[in-house]
Amino acid sequence: MAQNDDLTRRDVMKLAGAAGITAAAVTTAATVAGPGFVKAHAQSNQIRYGLIGTGSRGTYLLSRLAKIDNGHCAALCDLDANSLDKAASVIGTNPKKYNDYRELLADKNVDAAIVAVPLYEHFPVTRDALQAGKHVFCEKSLVFKPEEVHALRGLAPQHGKQVLQVGLQRRYSHYFQATRQMVEKGILGDVTHIHAMWHRNPGWVMRPGGKSNPRNWRLFREFSGGLTAELASHQVDVADWMFGAQPEFVMGLGGLDTWKNDGRDIFDNIQLIFQYPGGRKMTFSAISTNSHCPFLGASRPEFGICIMGTAGAVEINIGDGQKTLPTALWYREPRPTSISPATEKTITEAGATFALAGPRKGLPIRMPQYEVDKDNDSFITRELKYARLWLYQKGVMIPEEDVNPVDTELQSFFHDSMTGGHPKADMEVGLADSTAVILANVAMDENRRVYFNEIQNLGKDKVNDALKEEAKHTA
């Protein structure tokens, strides 16, 4: 594995031939498949995929993939034979089993690779999959190290006909998309703040064997970006999407305060503030001592996001992907009728002991599928829809999305791979997200404000060293 983890000389030469690291930082991905590729797959209505990494996430993805018909599982790969056997029984297509991912990538029956290995291996596996001509779906966070941000961007132009999608499933949720439309249409006014949290109790527990047990990779900085990479990555991506921008800088405080005796070296609680252009801010909190999340009437523990504008707020939750699906509530902000100079009376009322706003009721966000279609719905369907709408309006039930966004992201990946479509969670989305993760960790480690343009120089030494090394070989 070691030789794969670092940038190879081959990567560096390709990177050097690309637009240049600094310039590349502001370019967009060239991942739209061209007509040549579309033709190659026109006869088939299924993409044949190989899934690499059949651990917890890989097996969950297979349980969803088993119900998706525009993809066919041709191969699986894992270092652990037991996990491979279990995963094969979950998908049930009698896939070819590999324990070396390069052999899977050489398999001509595989059109696309789904990458669900630990974070520190995302880049080498994704790079090799692209170079083997496969479409790639890589789990978040897309890359681990700063130099990998530059290297992947440098590789992209040579693989413009392949799809590269990142496992940021919120981008595929209809509720999150509806919220983004509310932001675009100004329904929430000027969106100034986003508050996100991911609270757990007891958080990640060390399995026996400590660092020598590969399943503990998340708990060690050598392999993991900690809570920032595993949890905050999803929600920072939502903030980038809602604000339509990347942060200018990040500040943060991380602590290893509860799980300090089991040998882990990542933080077990983190608090981050990202500043976006115009003074807009996103805050993120992850703790390991309490699973309370106050959004949506505390009905969904652990994680959630609140998007706050001058005219309203949306509380939104993706669901756990098993028992619960995405849901959201919209709170309208009563606008002040006029802003007049303060008087003695208003100054008193603005004191800390008075709440100036009355209680609010969250409104369900109605999706098109809840609306009654008088011409096409059967009598029973119409009655059911009226009953549900009544319950939603009374606040007795909160509507949920009717599909799991993980299913949507996977179907969409196969569809884009077949038709030359462009993924919503594309390489640039993934690299922006990875950059936020990397820089937030630097901010906590160095206890300082870290500016996002610092990424342009971070990791450059590694690339420069490798270039010098390459020059020695070619001299």
Q: Where do contacts with ligand NAD occur on this chain (CB under 6 A)? A: 1, 52-58, 77-80, 83, 101, 116-119, 121, 139-140, 167, 169, 214-215, 217, 230
- To the nearest whole angstrom, how small is the minimum distance from the Cβ of residue 97 to ligand NAD? 11
Q: Which is nearer to ligand NAD, 141 or 364 (CB)?
A: 141
Q: Which is nearer to ligand NAD, 137 or 276 (CB)?
A: 137
Is 419 exposed, middle or buried (CB count within 10 Å of its CB: 0-12, 13-18, 19+)?
A: middle
Three-state SS sequence of 102-153: HHHHHCCCCCEEEECCCHHHHHHHHHHHHHCCCEEEEECCCCCCHHHHHHHH
User: In terms of DSSP bridges, do strands 191-199 and 281-287 run parallel, antiparallel, or are they unpaired?
Assistant: parallel
- The candidate with the shortest Cα–Cα distance to 270, out of 226, 304, 222, 307, is 226
71: β partners: 47
Nearer CB in complex with ligand NAD: 207/360: 207
Q: Which two tokens stand for residue 48?
A: 């044949």
Q: How far is the CB of 87 from ligand NAD (least distance, A)?
A: 9
Beta carbon nearer to ligand NAD, 124 or 312? 124
- CB-nearer residue toward ligand NAD: 327 or 434: 434
Q: CA 315: distance to chain centroid?
A: 18
Task: Using alpha carbons only, give the angle 173, 179, 182 rounded to the nearest 5 degrees.
Answer: 145
Structure tokens at 178: 């509806």
Cis upstream peptide for 141 (omega within 30°): yes
In angstroms, give the least distance from the CB of 434 to ligand NAD: 11
Nearest CA among 427, 421, 406, 402 for reference residue 47? 421
Structure tokens belonging to residue 372: 């009654």
Least Å from the CB of residue 218 to ligand NAD: 7
In the complex with ligand NAD, which residue's Cβ is closer, 205 or 350? 205
Specify the residue, 51 or 466, whose C-beta has the smaller distance to ligand NAD: 51
| Of residues 55 and 312, the one with the C-beta less far from ligand NAD | 55
Residue nearest to ligand NAD (CB): 55
CB of 473 to ligand NAD, least distance (A): 27
Residue 53 Cβ vs ligand NAD, minimum distance, rounded to whole Å:
3
Q: Supply the minimum distance, in Å, between the C-beta of residue 121 and ligand NAD.
A: 5
Strand, coil or helix: 419:
helix
> From the CB of 370, what's the least distance to ligand NAD, in Å?
26
CB distance 163 to 413 below 8 Å: yes
Answer yes or no: are the C-beta atoms of 281 and 273 closer than 8 Å.
yes
Residue 303 or 330 with smaller CB distance to ligand NAD? 303
Q: Give 139-163 as a 3 state SS string.
A: ECCCCCCHHHHHHHHHHHHHHCCCC
Closest approach of ligand NAD to the CB of residue 119, in Å: 5
Three-state DSSP state, 383: helix
